[in-house]
């Protein structure tokens, strides 16, 4: 249900957006202004927690991946990979080179799927001044909508091929893959990705034509993402911060991601060196842009995107840059697979044992951690998942606090739209983030 | 590529809205009685995924809860023309605008199947909750027979 009310008097107004549309899940915005003074600016997450960590307790190590996949319909591949890495870390399992490459293709497929959906269906309508992508059909922008649909379909089909399903993968298992694609299938995918190269450029050009609609707002903050030498880190790397540098002790992730509870939100907030930090495409770009493929660097240059960019609205553009990179990176890894020759490998055999493992990957919305403790029979006794959107909530709040005074002289409708656009720029996955909450009953 | 897609649409968490999915599952259990060029698909609550599904078939039969002001459990078949006509007063339960937009987009992409039939079942209650209304539960077998006939017409 969408309910909006903007009440205005000379210097007083209250703005209440319930719920912000074109995001995953439910979040509200509340702004109160009295006598021209801002009384309240709040980003509120109102969804019920889902207790996934509690569901994992008592489950066999083989079940952790399929269960956590269901945390998110958009990032099911990312959750699967974080889960597998954590499980394999706890059990001391070493995967083959072919598995590592196929997992990189899987993560690229998901990044492409999610990014093009956000850029095309969720963010672009704001730039074209329409409520959704559908009114653009039949206008001069028809072609770009059709292009976006084609790119989205390609990313879906790539997920189907590598993971066995568009969402909630079935081929990703502990120790490897239950089924691998054939060389013929990979060659066909290669051809499709090459075709996508050119049309991605078209999408970039069209978006460039309306990029001036992105608010010119900046706020310095900390950016956190995985980083690794000679690779644009998605599948592996060390936790890296624009404030404090690399933190190779991956099991010590909680010293970086300090989660805390606030009154207005059912999702936890997080902070590290400052009051808030940002994760996601812009954070990755700010930390790792030199590792991008030249084709992606060209897209960044087109929009004047340089590190360190402190405009959160540019996250959507950073996603487009990553999309171009994912295509090139996938082509590279397909070539490596074809050169090596596809082997019909079975997953590495696993012996259940007690252990503690942490798996960290970059998913479309940012850095994701799964942390499992297993008993000697391989059953989970403790679990923790730190979700990207969780880590962004505090940053959204801090952005709003700086942004509202800067646009207070604008018409209320414009203030409302700008704040909604800010939330959308983070591409939040709110349902995922409302995973855990300490409730004290008095 | 299979030529005929039987796509169930609906949300089983919204009571009668889930009738399309429930009928699809019943048909799936009797898969062997149908020709091999038929593919049964759970289309969930529709949305953009249906767009990608439509592109794969020359003929599509969509099974969905449709409010055409009939008796609960009554079934009617509609073509694309019928649902676009305002006179028909057809409401595709919880996913109407979404679904029509998807059809429009599919047409623009030149991907719309040559034949598209919507097998609509009149719901009584689409509030939150699981399970069908009694009126619909009682006629599920009849609906399956009607659907089978519909499929036979398509296959011919």
Chain A residues inside the 8 Å CB shell of B105? 134, 137, 145, 149
Give the per-residue pLDDT at A439: 34
Asked if residue B92 has pLDDT above 80, the reply is no
Chain B residues inside the 8 Å CB shell of A141? none
- Choose among B49, B55, B108: nearest Cβ to A137: B108
Domains of chain A: 52-394 (1.10.645.10)
For residue A149, the distance in angstroms to the closest alpha carbon of chain B comes to 9
Mean residue pLDDT across chain A = 91
Interatomic CA distance for residues A92 and A113, integer angstroms:
31
Asked if residue A7 has pLDDT above 70, the reply is no
Report the residue of chain B nearest A117, measured CA to CA.
Answer: B48
ipTM of the complex: 0.72
Better-scored residue on pLDDT, A134 or A229: A229
**Listed residue (A219, A214, A116) closest to A159, CA to CA:** A116
How far from A391 is each of A253, B28, B61, B79, B82, CA to CA, in Å?
Answer: 13, 43, 44, 48, 49
Please calculate the CA angle A374-A377-A379 and round it to the nearest 5 degrees. 40
Q: Interface of chain B against chain A, CB under 8 Å?
A: 48-49, 51-52, 55, 101, 104-105, 108-109
Better-scored residue on pLDDT, A69 or A8: A69
Query: Do the chains contact at B48 and A156, CB–CB below 8 Å?
Result: no
Report the residue of chain B nearest A144, measured CA to CA.
Answer: B109
Report the residue of chain A nearest B107, measured CA to CA.
Answer: A137
Asked if residue A437 has pLDDT above 70, the reply is no
Residues 6+ apart with CB under 8 A from A197: A295, A327, A328
- Choose among A134, A149, A156: nearest Cβ to B109: A149
Chain B residues inside the 8 Å CB shell of A156? 52
Tokens of A59: 């489950």
Query: Do the chains contact at A146 and B48, CB–CB below 8 Å?
Result: no
Pick the residue of A2, A22, A114, A134 with the most B CBs within 10 A to test the interface with B by mutation.
Answer: A134
Give the per-residue pLDDT at A434: 58
Tell me the per-residue pLDDT of A162-191, one tens digit each, with 9 for 90 and over. Answer: 999 888 999 999 999 999 999 999 999 999
Q: What is the SS3 assignment for chain A?
A: CCEEEEEECCCCEEEEEECCCCCECCEEEEEEEECCEEEEEEEEECCCCCCHHHHHCCCEHHHHHHHHHCCCCCCHHHHHHHHHHHHHHHHCCCCCHHHHHHHHHHHHHHHHHHHHHHHHHHHHHHHHCCCCCHHHCCCCCHHHHHHHHHHHHHHHHHHHHHHCCCCCCCCEECCEECCCCCHHHHHHHHHHHHHHHHHHHHHHHHHHHHHHHCCCCCCCCEEEEEEECCECCCCCCEEEECCCEEECCHHHHHHCCEEECCCCCCCCEEECCCCCEECCHHHHHHHHHHHCCHHHHHHHHHCCCCCCCCCHHHHHHHHHHHHHHHHHHHHHHHHHHHHHCCCCCCCCCCCCCCEEEEEEEEECCEEEEEEEEECCCCEEEEEEEECHHHHHHHHHHHHHHHHHHHHCCCCHHHHHHHHHHHHHHCCCEHHHHCCCCCCCCC
Banded model confidence at residue A438, pLDDT cuts 50, 70, 90: very low
* Helix H or strand E encompassing B42: strand B38-42
Tell me the per-residue pLDDT of A127-140, one tens digit each, with 9 for 90 and over. Answer: 998 888 888 887 88
Q: Which domain holds residue B19?
A: 4-155
Burial (CB < 10 A; 0-12, 13-18, 19+), residue B110, is exposed
Better-scored residue on pLDDT, A233 or B104: A233
Q: What is the rounded average pLDDT of the residues A6-26?
A: 70
Question: Residue length, chain B?
Answer: 156
Residues A92/A94/A95/A101 CA torsion (nearest 10 deg): 110
For residue A331, the distance in angstroms to the closest alpha carbon of chain B comes to 24
Banded model confidence at residue A117, pLDDT cuts 50, 70, 90: very high
Pick the residue of A149, A152, A158 with the most B CBs within 10 A to test the interface with B by mutation.
Answer: A149
Interatomic CA distance for residues B57 and A334, integer angstroms:
29
Distance of CA A60 to the CA centre of its chain: 28
Strand A277-278 with A269-271, pairing? unpaired
Give the per-residue pLDDT at B89: 53
Chain A residues inside the 8 Å CB shell of B49? 166
Banded model confidence at residue A8, pLDDT cuts 50, 70, 90: very low
Query: Do the chains contact at B49 and A153, CB–CB below 8 Å?
Result: no
Q: A281-288 and A315-340 are packed helices; what angle lies between their axes, rounded to 10 degrees?
A: 70
Tell me the per-residue pLDDT of A382-429, one tens digit each, with 9 for 90 and over. Answer: 999 999 998 999 999 999 999 999 999 999 889 999 999 999 999 988
For residue A49, the distance in angstroms to the closest alpha carbon of chain B comes to 19
Banded model confidence at residue B85, pLDDT cuts 50, 70, 90: low
Asked if residue B95 has pLDDT above 80, the reply is no
Give the per-residue pLDDT at B116: 93
The answer to whether residues A269 and A259 touch, using CB atoms and an 8 Å cutoff, is yes
Query: Do the chains contact at A146 and B109, CB–CB below 8 Å?
Result: yes
Pick the residue of A74, A137, A159 with the most B CBs within 10 A to test the interface with B by mutation.
Answer: A137
Interatomic CA distance for residues B95 and B103, integer angstroms:
12
The gap between the terminal CA atoms of chain B, to the nearest Å, is 18
Using a CB–CB cutoff of 8 Å, tell me whether A130 touches chain B.
no
Beta bridge partners of A14: A7, A32
Place of tokens 């400052």: A274
Using a CB–CB cutoff of 8 Å, tell me whether A145 touches chain B.
yes
Which range has the worst mean pLDDT, A192-196, A244-248, B35-39? B35-39
For residue B46, the distance in angstroms to the closest alpha carbon of chain A comes to 14
Give the per-residue pLDDT at B137: 96
Using a CB–CB cutoff of 8 Å, tell me whether A152 touches chain B.
yes
For residue B121, the distance in angstroms to the closest alpha carbon of chain A comes to 25
Q: What does DSSP assign to residue B91?
A: B
Banded model confidence at residue A59, pLDDT cuts 50, 70, 90: very high
Using a CB–CB cutoff of 8 Å, tell me whether A50 touches chain B.
no
Banded model confidence at residue B94, pLDDT cuts 50, 70, 90: low
How many folded domains does chain B comprise? Answer: 1
Asked if residue B100 has pLDDT above 80, the reply is no
Phi/psi for A244 (5° steps) reads -120, 0
Q: Alpha-carbon torsion B54, B57, B58, B62, what sign? A: negative
Q: Is the peptide bond before A402 cis (omega within 30 degrees of 0)?
A: no
Which range has the worst mean pLDDT, A115-119, A260-264, A302-306? A260-264
Between residues 156 and 215 of chain A, which touch chain B (CB distance below 8 Å)?
Answer: 156, 166
The answer to whether residues A109 and A162 touch, using CB atoms and an 8 Å cutoff, is yes
Q: What is the CATH number of the domain that holds B150?
A: 3.40.50.1450
Q: What is the rounded average pLDDT of the residues A346-363?
A: 97
């Amino acid at each position: 249900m969408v309910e909006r009310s903007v009440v205005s008097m000379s210097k007083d107004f209250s703005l209440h957006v319930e719920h912000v549309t074109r995001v995953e899940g439910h979040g509200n915005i509340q702004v109160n202004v009295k006598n021209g003074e801002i009384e309240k600016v709040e980003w509120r997450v109102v969804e019920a927690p889902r207790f996934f960590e509690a569901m994992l307790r008592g489950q066999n190590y083989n079940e952790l991946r399929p269960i956590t996949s269901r945390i998110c319909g958009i990032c099911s591949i990312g959750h699967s990979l974080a889960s597998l890495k954590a499980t394999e870390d706890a059990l001391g399992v070493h995967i083959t080179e072919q598995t590592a490459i196929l997992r990189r293709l899987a993560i690229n497929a998901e990044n492409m799927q999610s990014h093009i959906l956000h850029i095309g269906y969720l963010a672009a309508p704001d730039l074209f001044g329409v409520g959704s992508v559908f009114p653009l059909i039949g206008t001069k922008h028809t072609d770009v909508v059709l292009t976006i649909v084609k790119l989205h379909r390609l990313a879906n089909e790539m997920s189907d091929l590598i993971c066995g399903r568009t969402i909630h993968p079935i081929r990703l298992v502990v120790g490897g893959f239950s089924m691998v694609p054939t060389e013929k299938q990979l060659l066909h995918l290669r051809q499709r990705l090459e075709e996508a190269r050119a049309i991605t450029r078209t999408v970039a050009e069209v978006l460039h034509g309306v990029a001036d609609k992105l608010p010119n707002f900046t706020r310095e903050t900390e950016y956190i993402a995985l980083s690794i030498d000679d690779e644009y880190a998605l599948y592996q790397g060390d936790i890296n911060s624009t404030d404090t540098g690399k933190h190779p002790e991956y099991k010590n992730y909680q010293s970086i991601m300090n989660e805390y509870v606030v009154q207005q939100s059912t999702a936890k907030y997080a902070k590290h060196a400052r009051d808030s930090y940002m994760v996601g495409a812009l954070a990755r770009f700010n930390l790792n842009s030199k590792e991008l493929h030249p084709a992606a660097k060209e897209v960044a240059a087109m929009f004047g995107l340089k590190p360190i960019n402190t405009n959160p609205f540019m996250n959507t553009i950073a996603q487009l840059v990553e999309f171009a990179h994912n295509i090139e990176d996938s082509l590279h890894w397909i070539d490596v697979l074809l050169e090596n020759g596809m082997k019909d490998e079975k997953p590495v055999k696993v012996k259940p044992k007690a252990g503690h493992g942490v798996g960290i990957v970059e998913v479309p919305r940012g850095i994701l951690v799964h942390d499992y403790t297993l008993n000697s029979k391989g059953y989970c006794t403790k679990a923790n998942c730190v979700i990207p959107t969780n880590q962004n909530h505090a940053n959204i709040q801090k952005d709003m606090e700086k942004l509202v005074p800067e646009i207070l002289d604008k018409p209320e409708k414009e203030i409302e739209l700008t704040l909604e656009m800010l939330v959308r720029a983070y591409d939040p996955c709110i349902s995922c983030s409302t995973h855990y909450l300490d409730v004290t009953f008095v | 590529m299979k030529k005929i897609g039987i796509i169930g649409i609906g949300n089983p968490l919204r009571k009668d809205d889930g009738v399309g999915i429930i009928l699809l599952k019943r048909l799936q259990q009797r898969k062997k009685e149908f020709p091999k060029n038929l593919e049964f698909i759970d289309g969930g609550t529709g949305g953009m995924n249906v767009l990608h599904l439509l592109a794969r078939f020359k003929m599509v039969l969509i099974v969905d809860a449709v409010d055409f002001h009939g008796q609960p459990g009554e079934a009617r078949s509609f073509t694309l023309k019928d649902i676009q006509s305002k006179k028909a007063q057809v409401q595709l339960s919880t996913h109407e605008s979404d679904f029509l937009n998807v059809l429009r987009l599919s047409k623009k992409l030149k991907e719309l199947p040559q034949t598209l039939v919507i097998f609509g079942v009149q719901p009584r209650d689409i509030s939150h909750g699981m399970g069908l209304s009694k009126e619909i539960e009682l006629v599920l077998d009849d609906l399956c027979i009607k659907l089978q006939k519909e499929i036979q017409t398509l296959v011919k």
